[in-house]
Amino acid sequence: MGLLLLLNPSGHGIRELEVSIPRVEEGDVRRLKSALGAGAFSSIQTLDVLVPHLDPEDVKLLPCSHPHLRHLELHRSGAFIQLDYLRPLATLPHLQSLTFSLQHSWQPPEQRMTFKELRSLKMSCHAFGGVGVFLAHVDAPRLQSFSVSEWHTDSNTMSTELPGHLRTLLAKCPSLTGFEWDSTQEWMPRVGYLGNQEAGAPLAELVAPLLSHRALRSFKVWFHGPIVSYSPADFRAFAEAWPDLEMFRLYHDSDEDGTWARVHQRADVESIVSFARRCPHLRSLGYLRVVQSESDPSPADESVHLLPDTPHWLRELSVSYVTHCSKEDSEEVGPRDRET
């Protein structure tokens, strides 16, 4: 903690501070609190303090000790926070981005709260219940980017829970341009994944409310355990819904032998090219897997038809690997999913 004395005692010019303390004594924590609460650091705009445990009382003091905060991250193993403890942060007049982990209890706050200037929000929670409680009691009318990381025991409830939360999100945040979803199914050694891994609906159906939001510019999803199907039909729906899309990411874990994925998770070369062509502003495109079927035309034979007619904005294309689908698997998918 003594290293903080090396900083300019007047605090002038200090706008960003990151302190990481993975293991400390209680005395060190007290000294850090005292240093950060001093007037020398009152001008900080970005504060990222990584500690083993988060004291709600410290959160309450932030508006007084650091009134100029614009970016705040409250995260670390054990740093879960009740929704009510976020209320003081809503009084920060310049707060634009907030990151936090919600406690498992999902207790609704005593009163509604509004983050008037918030543009970016990243939250993590256990299951979709926490997302629902947050969206029902917190307003962020100028929010542009919403990121949620959730973990659950049964993926089969996705199709009934997620669409409702997305409708609420769009109704309360009409300026939304970025959506990020990281979904993890709980796993135990010698047991494997708990509950049903299949989501029960294809990707486009899971995020159907977003398809009516033409202003979306960034869409990123990661699935660790949940099995979500998709096909060229899903990508056609995305391209029609978001013609001004600039970033698209779709990553997921693979099933053990790859059979389910080859049949139900299809992104072939032609569908990717068609998707990019219909989103002319797309700059970054990422997939875990591209499927090449034995029944598909040779890329060399069809290359002239795949090339875009006009220059494209795409600058980054990331594909983890290409898998080959047998003719039998391709026939099981059906002709509707193969057309682009």
- Say how many Å lie between the first and final Cα of the chain, rounded: 60
SS3 205: helix
The predicted model gives 175-180 an average pLDDT of: 98
Q: Does CATH place domain 144-340 in 3.80.10? A: yes
Q: What is the pTM of this model?
A: 0.80
Q: Is the pLDDT of residue 158 over 50?
A: yes
Backbone dihedral region of 78: left (phi > 0), alpha (psi from -120 to 50 degrees) or beta? left
pLDDT at residue 229, as a whole number: 92
86, 121 contact by CB (below 8 A): no
Facing residues of 182 across strands?
Answer: 149, 222
pLDDT at residue 337, as a whole number: 36
Q: What is the pLDDT of residues 292-338, one digit of tens each?
A: 766 555 544 444 455 556 677 899 999 887 777 665 554 444 333 33
DSSP 48: E
Please, which residues have CB within 8 angstroms of residue 34's CB and are 6 or more apart in sequence? none
The predicted model gives 250-278 an average pLDDT of: 74
Q: Which residue has the higher pLDDT, 246 or 311?
A: 246
Q: Is the pLDDT of residue 168 over 90?
A: yes
Residue ranges of the domains in the chain? 1-100+114-126, 144-340
The predicted model gives 95-99 an average pLDDT of: 95
Fold: same for 1-100+114-126 and 144-340: yes
CATH superfamily, domain 1-100+114-126, is Ribonuclease Inhibitor (3.80.10.10)
Q: Which of 9-18, 151-160, 196-205 has the lowest mean pLDDT?
A: 9-18
- Give residue 145's pLDDT band: very low, low, confident or very high (50, 70, 90): very high
Q: Is the pLDDT of residue 282 over 90?
A: yes
Q: Which residue has the higher pLDDT, 24 or 92?
A: 92
Q: What is the pLDDT of residues 33-78, one digit of tens each?
A: 565 555 556 666 666 656 566 677 778 888 888 888 899 988 655 5
Q: Is the pLDDT of residue 105 over 70?
A: no
pLDDT at residue 56, as a whole number: 75
DSSP 299: H
Phi/psi of residue 189, nearest 5 degrees? -60, 140
Q: Which residue has the higher pLDDT, 70 or 339?
A: 70
Alpha carbon 58 to its chain's center: 27
- Give residue 217's pLDDT band: very low, low, confident or very high (50, 70, 90): very high
Q: What percent of the chain has pLDDT over 90?
A: 45
Rounded Cα distance between 296 and 274, Å, is 15
Q: Is the pLDDT of residue 249 over 50?
A: yes
Q: Which residue has the higher pLDDT, 266 or 143?
A: 143
- Give residue 216's pLDDT band: very low, low, confident or very high (50, 70, 90): very high
pLDDT at residue 325, as a whole number: 65
pLDDT at residue 332, as a whole number: 41
Token readout for 15 is: 């706008």
Q: Is the pLDDT of residue 178 over 60?
A: yes
CA nearest neighbour of 132 among 100, 81, 166: 166
Facing residues of 48 across strands?
Answer: 18, 73
Q: Which residue has the higher pLDDT, 40 or 169?
A: 169
**Mean of pLDDT over the chain:** 80
Would you say the C-alpha torsion 227, 225, 124, 191 has a positive or negative sign? Answer: positive
